Chains A and B, each alone.
Chain A
Amino acid sequence: DIVMTQSPDSLAVSLGERATINCKSSQSVLYSSNSKNYLAWYQQKPGQPPKLLIYWASTRESGVPDRFIGSGSGTDFSLTISSLQAEDVAVYYCQQYYGTPWTFGQGTKVEIK
């Protein structure tokens, strides 16, 4: 199985500041034939299901604010919230869909400092 490891486990950022979450996969999730990274990011607020934010490592889902930016390739990825808003407090998960079984990271909790 491909293991997804996120860092840090939690972070506290001031309103309006940048928050960056990292995700590392135990093997590459870049499919050479189409040059796509099979990596997605989700946001989960308390008591709610996860919500899709980003797929193909950097494609924003419809309706997701442009302050959410996905980047990276191969085995190293990042989710950046360019200007943290109060409604962004949540746990964020990365997920690979390159190899079966599809696997998630352990999550990163983002809070307001």
Chain B
Amino acid sequence: QVQLVESGGGVVQPGRSLRLSCAASGFTFSDHFMHWIRQAPGKGPERVAVISYDGTDKFYADSVKGRFTISRDNSKNTLYLQMNSLRTDDTAMYYCAREKNSAMVFDYWGQGKLVTVSS
């Protein structure tokens, strides 16, 4: 069955960096666009970044552009999110999600990793 397992969250001071990973299994990873989506406490989800099948195309939300980098390693079935210059308003649960091939929606989500940015 499809599984997405995030790792790498935690507490970090403003201005510091953190890298999230998402290990995928149960499907052909390279056949899907993959996304990072975050959700601040009590708020709706916000898509942060998306990456194409082979990693050549990437898109970022304005709120993270220039600070976050999405990447993937199809040989390892793993998705990454490098987060630099973290701010307190980046505090959220971060999910990796698979894009459904027949519709541009998120059909599988990981359980999420909490990132807390605080001094």
Give A contacts to B, CB under 8 Å. 38, 40, 42, 48-52, 55-56, 59, 61, 93, 95, 97, 100-102, 104-107
Instruction: Write out the residue numbers on chain A whose beta carbons fall within 8 Å of the beta carbon of B53.
Output: none
Q: A52: which of B43, B61, B100 is its contact (CB, 8 Å)?
A: B100
Interface SS, A side: loop
CA distance A79 to B105 in the complex (A): 17
Contact, CB under 8 Å: A50 / B107: no
Contact, CB under 8 Å: B103 / A50: no
CA distance A106 to B44 in the complex (A): 5
Total CB contacts across the A-B interface at under 8 A = 46
Give B contacts to A, CB under 8 Å. 43-47, 59, 61-62, 95, 97, 100, 103-107, 109-112
Instruction: Write out the residue numbers on chain B whose beta carbons fall within 8 Å of the beta carbon of A101.
Output: 47, 61-62
Question: Known: A55-B100, A101-B61. Contact between A50 and B105, CB under 8 A?
Answer: no
Question: Known: A56-B103, A97-B104, A100-B59. Contact between A50 and B46, CB under 8 A?
Answer: no
Distance in Å: Cβ of B13 to nearest Cβ of chain A? 27
Contact, CB under 8 Å: A93 / B109: no
Distance in Å: Cβ of A9 to nearest Cβ of chain B? 11
**13 contacts across the A-B interface (CB closer than 8 A):** A40-B103, A49-B112, A50-B109, A52-B100, A52-B105, A95-B45, A95-B105, A100-B59, A101-B62, A102-B47, A104-B45, A104-B46, A106-B43
Instruction: Write out the residue numbers on chain B whose beta carbons fall within 8 Å of the beta carbon of A104.
Output: 44-46
